Amino acid sequence: MLQSDLLVVLGDVLPRVARIAAFIAVGVFLANLAVGFGLVEHVAGLSRYLTRPARLPDEVGTAILTTAASTTAGYGMLAEFRESGRLSDRATLVAVTINTFFGFVQHIFTFYVPVLIPILGFEVGVMYVGARALVALGITLAGVAAGALLLRGDDVDRSATVTTSTDGGAPPADDAPETRREVVEHAWNRTLPKLRRIVPRLAVVYTLVVVLTRTYDLTALTSVADPLATVVGLPGAAVPVIAVFALDTTAGAATIAPLVGVEFTPRQAVATMLLGGIVSFAVSTFKRSIPFQYGIWGPAFGSKVIAVNTAFKVVFIGLAVTVLLAA
């Protein structure tokens, strides 16, 4: 029995770790290539409207735009900039916050448009996706404002590069990559040490999470849905919908869709799903955010990233719910 449980856990953990490790490798490798080939200058023009007001270097714009294609790759690039000394912890938190909207963009084409809108119907689907987009955009703009207000000159070391040597010193000028092949090889050699450090940590944390979720019932965390629905004045039917939506977005959408026009107005339906998103943070943070963020940043800084992300999401989703119901 123990052996079968172990096989189930490994079957759950190994594919996740392998997938995330692959994306991290891509992100770190692209960060090194971007610097080695001078691609930063080409991308900076598209992102400097965010990075310059936030007092971040142009290289961060590469990571921000990469997030629109892969959140993991974008985070991997930011982790490389932080570990190279280019960004302080405070500057990295600002960059992670600015990343929010671009991380949302990829889900529009992979989940919201092909899956969620057909389930919810055009009106409610577009309203919900639009609300989530505005929440993500609001967080990104708040990150820009935070950078403008909080970052100082010592939060960004513009002399540091992601191609520093492993002992912390700059590579000798004679050893600097010159040909394309040398740049690629050098970027890959800089990627391997990070993978050796991150992947074992990621595997351990994911294993612990899978074991705990198989041992304890996390649905108890959704009991907070009842007082939330009561406080904001939603129908009683919102409570089970929020509970389902908190555990699975697709199932929650399928649950509330037939109730629109019966138990819920379109605005109430969207507000209910947004509240489900707030409640789901307790579950998703434990099952996904902690393993992912701890794997990339380590427990200390990973906890800060989770706290900042959660605080911004709760505040801005709360504002969106208030506006929807007030209107």
- Sequential pLDDT tens for the chain (327 residues): 456 666 766 777 777 677 767 766 776 677 667 656 666 455 545 677 888 899 998 888 888 888 877 778 888 889 889 988 889 999 999 999 999 998 888 788 777 887 788 888 889 999 999 999 999 999 999 999 999 999 998 898 877 655 433 333 334 444 444 577 777 777 777 777 767 766 776 677 667 656 765 665 545 545 555 565 666 677 777 877 777 777 777 778 888 888 888 888 999 999 989 988 887 776 677 667 888 888 889 889 999 999 999 899 989 998 998 898 887
Quote the pTM value.
Answer: 0.71
Q: Are 63 and 74 in contact (CB under 8 A)?
A: yes
List alpha helices for the chain, DSSP H.
2-36, 40-51, 58-67, 71-83, 89-98, 100-107, 117-120, 122-150, 180-215, 225-232, 238-247, 249-256, 266-284, 290-297, 299-326
Amino acid letter, 14: L
- What integer pLDDT is reported at residue 304 of this predicted model? 94
